[in-house]
Amino acid sequence: GAVVSQHPSRVICKSGTSVKIECRSLDFQATTMFWYRQFPKQSLMLMATSNEGSKATYEQGVEKDKFLINHASLTLSTLTVTSAHPEDSSFYICSARDAGPGGHEQFFGPGTRLTVL
Amino acid sequence: QQQVKQSPQSLIVQKGGISIINCAYENTAFDYFPWYQQFPGKGPALLIAIRPDVSEKKEGRFTISFNKSAKQFSLHIMDSQPGDSATYFCAASIRGGSEKLVFGKGTKLTVNP
């Protein structure tokens, strides 16, 4: 089955620092990757759609200068939380959509727990 | 228009029982309806998905029932097991469009032994 990895699985940082989270599709190519954040006991909230080779599309209310997304290859997208603050502490999850014909299933990564002190 | 409403918020069933989770949507353009299972601290995993051209899809103990006219779909878990205890999310998207998934709020299922 399709596998999506995320690194790191958890990170603790000081307020004001930047954190980069990687999302990789391991056995398929993904023209589109999605980034979500999930607060405890809540549903997934889509932050942005990342398309390989083009700028990410951000959902309303998501600061694009704070959450930098780069999708440089068909297997890698990165999310950088810049100048992180305690309110950015959350569970960040990426998903990837198979670029193959007819592919529309999204496969999710295991998530990254970010804690900002 | 973009909402997917999921119920119940939490569900407790006995081992061997049937778990039923319901979802309703408004946007008739949705044409892909997946269900995801999420364990604490993990990412969601695709369980089963259905397209609106069929009314039911079964995979093992998991069945999706789809009612296009009512704009509702449900997940049935037969012979529920303690290992099924997790949070379940329904979702909907438009294939060929942005492919963005719209998620329900989730149902926390507890299966007692």
Q: Whole-angstrom Cα distance, residue A109 to residue A5? A: 5
Nearest 5 degrees, angle CA A107-CA B34-CA B90? 110
- A97: its two tokens: 């959509």
Task: Give the pLDDT mean for A37-54.
Answer: 91
**Does A90 contact chain B (CB < 8 Å)?**
no
Residue A101, pLDDT score: 66
- A78: its two tokens: 């990165």
Contact B38, B89 (CB under 8 A): yes
Contact A42, A61 (CB under 8 A): no
Task: Give the pLDDT mean for A72-100.
Answer: 92
Q: Whole-angstrom Cα distance, residue A85 to residue A18? A: 9
**Percent of chain A residues past pLDDT 90, beyond the cut:** 75
**Higher pLDDT, residue B96 or B51:** B51
**Does A109 contact chain B (CB < 8 Å)?**
yes
Q: Is the pLDDT of residue B2 over 70?
A: no
Contact A107 B46 (CB under 8 A): yes
- B97: its two tokens: 């469009």
Q: How many CA atoms lie within 13 A of A96 on its CB side?
A: 30
Q: For residue A42, what pLDDT band results from cuts at 50, 70 and 90?
A: very high
Q: How many CA atoms lie within 13 A of A81 on its CB side?
A: 28
Residue A90, pLDDT score: 96
Q: Is the pLDDT of residue A103 over 80?
A: no
Contact A111 B42 (CB under 8 A): yes
Residue appearing with tokens 């407790």: B12
Smallest CA–CA separation between B61 and chain A, in Å?
Answer: 20
Smallest CA–CA separation between B11 and chain A, in Å?
Answer: 14
Residue B97, pLDDT score: 66
Query: A81-97 burial, b if ≥16 CB within 10 A, otherwise e?
Result: beebeeebbbbbbbbbb
Q: Whole-angstrom Cα distance, residue A97 to residue A108? A: 9
* Long-range pairs for B66-73: beta carbons < 8 A, 24 or more residues apart: B66/B33, B70/B24, B71/B24, B71/B25, B71/B26, B71/B28, B72/B22, B72/B23, B72/B24, B72/B25, B73/B22, B73/B23, B73/B25, B73/B33
